[in-house]
């Protein structure tokens, strides 16, 4: 397919309005295969304005007289307005943008063409999280092993090639357990909590069905987990569905672990919203955020009505529950819902941030996302196909990763010194998960990424973000390593709307950038001066 077939018109004169914070831009508008460009006239600023077409969420066009207006709502929640000279040009450009922004083919997407200066292909793809993570825990315990039973993705298409499983369970047993779990997602290790020797596991629902089927290997696997942890250790299965929903799942072949079949394990139901209701919550929140004229009462009632903060609270409190089980009860925790690719990952990744100081560092957080989201098979391509503005009826879209980022932001607000990364990092991850020049968030699973050769043909987001020039935006200047678990308050009075994201383009929150700059200044003064006295003292030495 040639992009040129989809481009109706090369260029037009246009004016771009970018919201209250930025001045309008006039110049020549141009549609290319992957971008919308605006090249200002010679008198204006020399900067070229560029928009990745993939980041367009919805497009509206209006024509009046001999001019037209296109409103672009972007996946990063920005709203742009283009005033274009000429009715034909307007319609052509709108059609071109519509066609190009909704292309589904992965291998013709921009990451396969993006070749930035200063980065080398293949860089930072060297993370092999399961292997790397296994090395870390192998120093603490011998009870687990790295299995390559899924080398060819035959056991589970949404798992990576290597997973961490109990040493006592062999690959054949894994294969049988995989057949007993939806999508082949048998229980694997997500996090080893060294201070208490307890573990966090994740999986999908067991396929018990109406007949209440059982699987000896699956039962053996979970039995082995408890046996390895400590004699008499207890386990809790955190099911992210309501008891009723879990029961109903039996009608369609799913279900839950029967009490009698898994001695020592106890089931807890913590229903978390997912799928369409979550997407609708996001859409309604953005509708409320788009109306600055509304009264105080209307705003509070819409904020309540969209239920977004309730979802934040539920996600955080479920993660805290899982963490509490490991840290205070010395219990092993298995988390799953139905598919085990959405709310399950939300809970396991948040629980790690709460318990594990390493995951709160810049490198550790990247590793966490790579291991617990990307390699763990969160279907980014399906979930992030559209953001809050799309007119098309949502199919598989759900802002579950955004919900995760919001929860991390809440943690960061309550523990402002304990995360090495700042709000900028979370915003960048949100933007890139929906549309990115990098390949990291492409596809739905490791298997798909291998087929598309994402690792060799695109750049890794991590190599982009880890460039020195990006650091000031992404890091938290106040970071101080904190070896303890961070237990957030989940009371409604302690949670706050993430203005920096939801109102980023319309009503940017305080502290303003200037104030933030001042914090940086104080913090860096601190760090450079911390070493200064030594320098000046040693200076006169021969």
Partner 1 sequence: MEHIRTTKVEQVKLLDRFSTSNKSLTGTLYLTATHLLFIDSHQKETWILHHHIALVEKLALTTSGCPLVIQCKNFRTVHFIVPRERDCHDIYNSLLQLSKQAKYEDLYAFSYNPKQNDSERLRGWQLVDLAEEYKRMGVPNSNWQLSDANRDYKAAICRCSQPLSGFSARCLEDEHLLQAISKANPANRYMYVMDTRPRLNAMANRAAGKGYENEDNYSNIRFQFVGIENIHVMRSSLQKLLEVNGTKGLSVSDFYSGLENAGWLRHIKAVMDAAIFLAKAIMVENASVLVHCSDGWDRTSQVCSLGSLLLDPYYRTIRGFMVLIEKDWISFGHKYSERCGHLDGDPKEVSPVFTQFLECVWHLTEQFPQAFEFNEAFLLQIHEHIHSCQFGNFIGNCQKEREELKLKEKTYSLWPFLLDDQEKYVNPLYSSTSQKPAVLEPNTVAFHFKFWRNMYHQFDRTLHPRQSVFNIIMNMNEQNKQLQKDVKDLESQIKQHKNKQTDGVLTKELLNSVRPESPALKTSLCLKEQTLLPVNDALRTIEGSNPADNRYSEYADEFSKAEPAVVSSEYGVARMTC
DSSP structural state of residue 181 = B
Nearer to partner 1, 4 or 538 (CB): 538
Q: Provide the strand spans (E) within 161-315.
A: 163-166, 188-193, 198-202, 235-239, 265-269
CB 9 within 8 A of CB 92: yes
Q: How far is the CB of 319 from partner 1 (least distance, A)?
A: 9
Question: What are the Cα distances from residue 534, in Å, to 57, 382, 537?
Answer: 54, 55, 5
DSSP-derived 3-state class of residue 50: strand
Residue from 417, 453, 456, 467 in contact with partner 1 (CB under 8 A): 417
Nearer to partner 1, 11 or 414 (CB): 414
Residues 27-66 as x/- pattern, contact with partner 1 by CB under 8 A: ----------------------------------------
Q: How far is the CB of 360 from partner 1 (least distance, A)?
A: 12
DSSP assignments along 137-148, one per residue: HHTT-SSEEEE-
Nearer to partner 1, 136 or 518 (CB): 518
Nearer to partner 1, 174 or 411 (CB): 411
Measured between alpha carbons, how far apart are the two ends of the chain, in Å? 69
248-287 positions binding partner 1, by CB under 8 A: 266, 268, 270
Residue from 298, 391, 395, 473 in contact with partner 1 (CB under 8 A): 298
Residues 499-528 as x/- pattern, contact with partner 1 by CB under 8 A: x---x---x--xxx-xx--xx--xx-xxx-
Residue from 286, 490, 498, 504 in contact with partner 1 (CB under 8 A): 490
Q: How far is the CB of 371 from partner 1 (least distance, A)?
A: 24
Nearer to partner 1, 125 or 282 (CB): 282
Q: Which helix (H) or strand (E) holds 299?
A: helix 296-306
Residue 72 has which token pair? 């672009």
346-375 positions binding partner 1, by CB under 8 A: none
Q: How far is the CB of 421 from partner 1 (least distance, A)?
A: 16
Residues 431-450 as x/- pattern, contact with partner 1 by CB under 8 A: --------------------
Angle ∠(22,24,29) on CA atoms, nearest 5: 125
DSSP-derived 3-state class of residue 25: strand
Report the interhelical angle of 400-414 vs 423-434 (nearest 10°). 180
Nearer to partner 1, 258 or 478 (CB): 478
Nearer to partner 1, 161 or 270 (CB): 270
79 sits near partner 1 (criterion: CB under 8 A): no
Q: How far is the CB of 201 from partner 1 (least distance, A)?
A: 17
Query: Could you give the CA distance from residue 161 to residue 149 in angstroms, rounded to a whole number?
Result: 7
Q: How far is the CB of 227 from partner 1 (least distance, A)?
A: 20
The count of residues interacting with partner 1 (CB under 8 A) is: 83
Which stretch in 73-81, 197-205, 343-351, 532-540 sits in contact with partner 1 by CB under 8 A? 532-540
CB 12 within 8 A of CB 31: no
129-188 positions binding partner 1, by CB under 8 A: none
- Which residues have a Cβ under 8 Å from the Cβ of 515 and sit 6 or more positions away? none
Nearer to partner 1, 451 or 522 (CB): 522
Residue 398 has which token pair? 């759900």
Residue closest to 330 by CA, chosen among 261, 236, 263, 257: 236
Residue 501 has which token pair? 């994201």
Residue from 258, 280, 478, 500 in contact with partner 1 (CB under 8 A): 478
Nearer to partner 1, 456 or 532 (CB): 532
382 sits near partner 1 (criterion: CB under 8 A): no
Which stretch in 45-53, 126-134, 189-197, 491-499 sits in contact with partner 1 by CB under 8 A? 491-499
CB 218 within 8 A of CB 181: yes
Q: How far is the CB of 361 from partner 1 (least distance, A)?
A: 13
Nearer to partner 1, 49 or 520 (CB): 520
Q: How far is the CB of 239 from partner 1 (least distance, A)?
A: 12
Question: What are the Cα distances from residue 132, in Å, to 126, 162, 164, 228?
Answer: 10, 11, 11, 22
Nearer to partner 1, 211 or 531 (CB): 531
Which stretch in 167-175, 248-256, 437-445, 482-490 sits in contact with partner 1 by CB under 8 A? 482-490
Query: Could you give the CA distance from residue 316 to residue 311 in angstroms, rounded to a whole number?
Result: 8
Nearer to partner 1, 45 or 489 (CB): 489
Give me the sheet containing 235-239, strands edge to edge: 188-193, 198-202, 332-336, 235-239, 265-269
Q: How far is the CB of 323 from partner 1 (least distance, A)?
A: 7
413 sits near partner 1 (criterion: CB under 8 A): yes
Nearer to partner 1, 196 or 214 (CB): 196
Q: How far is the CB of 514 from partner 1 (least distance, A)?
A: 6
Q: Which helix (H) or strand (E) holds 57?
A: strand 56-64
300-339 positions binding partner 1, by CB under 8 A: 300-301, 303-304, 307, 309-310, 313, 317-318, 320-321, 323-325, 327-329, 331
Angle ∠(349,158,445) on CA atoms, nearest 5: 85
**What region, left, alpha or beta, does residue 255 occupy, with left being phi > 0 and alpha being psi -120 to 50 degrees?**
left
Nearer to partner 1, 33 or 290 (CB): 290
Residue from 133, 134, 180, 236 in contact with partner 1 (CB under 8 A): 236
Query: Could you give the CA distance from residue 62 to residue 85 in angstroms, rounded to a whole number?
Result: 12
Query: Could you give the CA distance from residue 297 to residue 173 in angstroms, rounded to a whole number?
Result: 58
CA torsion 95→96→98→103, rounded to 10°? Answer: 140
Query: Could you give the CA distance from residue 335 to residue 345 in angstroms, rounded to a whole number?
Result: 8
């Amino acid at each position: 397919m040639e992009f040129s077939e989809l481009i109706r018109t090369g260029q037009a004169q246009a004016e771009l309005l970018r919201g209250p914070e930025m001045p309008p831009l006039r110049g020549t508008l141009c549609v290319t295969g992957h971008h919308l460009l605006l090249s200002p006239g010679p008198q204006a600023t020399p900067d070229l304005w560029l928009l990745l077409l993939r980041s367009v969420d919805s497009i509206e066009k209006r024509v009046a007289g001999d001019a037209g207006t296109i409103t672009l709502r972007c996946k990063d929640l920005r709203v742009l307005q283009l005033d274009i000279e000429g009715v034909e040009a307007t319609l052509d450009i709108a059609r071109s943008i519509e066609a190009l922004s909704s292309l589904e083919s992965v291998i013709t997407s921009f990451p396969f063409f993006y070749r930035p200066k200063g980065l080398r292909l293949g860089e930072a793809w060297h993370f092999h999280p399961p292997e790397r993570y296994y090395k870390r825990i192998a120093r603490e315990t011998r009870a687990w092993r790295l299995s390559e039973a899924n080398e060819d993705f035959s056991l589970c298409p949404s798992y990576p090639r290597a997973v961490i499983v109990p040493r006592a369970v062999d690959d054949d047993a894994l294969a049988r357990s995989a057949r007993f779990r939806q999508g082949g997602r048998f229980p694997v290790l997500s996090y080893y909590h060294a201070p208490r020797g307890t573990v966090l596991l994740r999986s999908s629902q067991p396929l018990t069905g109406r007949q209440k089927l059982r699987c000896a290997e699956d039962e053996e696997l979970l039995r082995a987990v408890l046996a390895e942890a400590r004699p008499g250790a207890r386990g809790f299965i955190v099911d992210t569905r309501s008891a009723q929903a879990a029961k109903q799942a039996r009608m369609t072949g799913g279900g839950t672990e029967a009490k009698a079949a898994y001695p020592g394990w106890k089931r807890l139901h913590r229903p978390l919203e997912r799928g369409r209701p979550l997407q609708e919550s996001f859409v309604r929140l953005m509708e409320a955020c788009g109306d600055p004229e509304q009264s105080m009462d209307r705003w509070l009632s819409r904020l309540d009505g969209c239920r977004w903060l309730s979802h934040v609270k539920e996600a955080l409190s479920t993660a805290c529950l899982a963490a509490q089980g490991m840290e205070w009860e010395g219990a092993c925790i298995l988390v799953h819902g139905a598919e085990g690719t959405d709310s399950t990952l939300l809970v396991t990744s948040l629980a790690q941030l709460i318990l594990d100081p390493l995951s709160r560092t810049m490198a550790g957080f990247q590793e966490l996302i790579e291991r617990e989201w990307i390699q763990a098979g969160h279907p980014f391509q399906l979930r992030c196909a559209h953001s809050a503005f799309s007119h098309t009826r949502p199919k598989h879209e759900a802002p579950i990763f955004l919900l995760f980022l919001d929860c991390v932001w809440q943690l960061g607000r309550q523990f402002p010194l304990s995360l090495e990364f700042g709000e900028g990092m979370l915003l960048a991850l949100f933007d890139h998960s929906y549309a990115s020049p990098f390949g990291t968030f492409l596809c739905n699973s490791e298997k798909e990424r291998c087929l598309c050769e994402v690792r060799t043909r695109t750049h890794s987001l991590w190599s982009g973000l880890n460039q020195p020039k990006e650091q000031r935006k992404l890091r938290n200047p106040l970071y101080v390593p904190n070896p303890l678990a961070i237990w957030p308050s989940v009371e409604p009075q302690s949670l706050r709307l993430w203005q920096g994201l939801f109102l980023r383009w319309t009503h940017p929150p305080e502290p303003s950038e200037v104030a933030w700059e001042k914090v940086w200044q104080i913090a860096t003064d601190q760090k450079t001066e911390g070493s200064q006295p030594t320098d000046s003292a040693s200076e006169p030495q021969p």
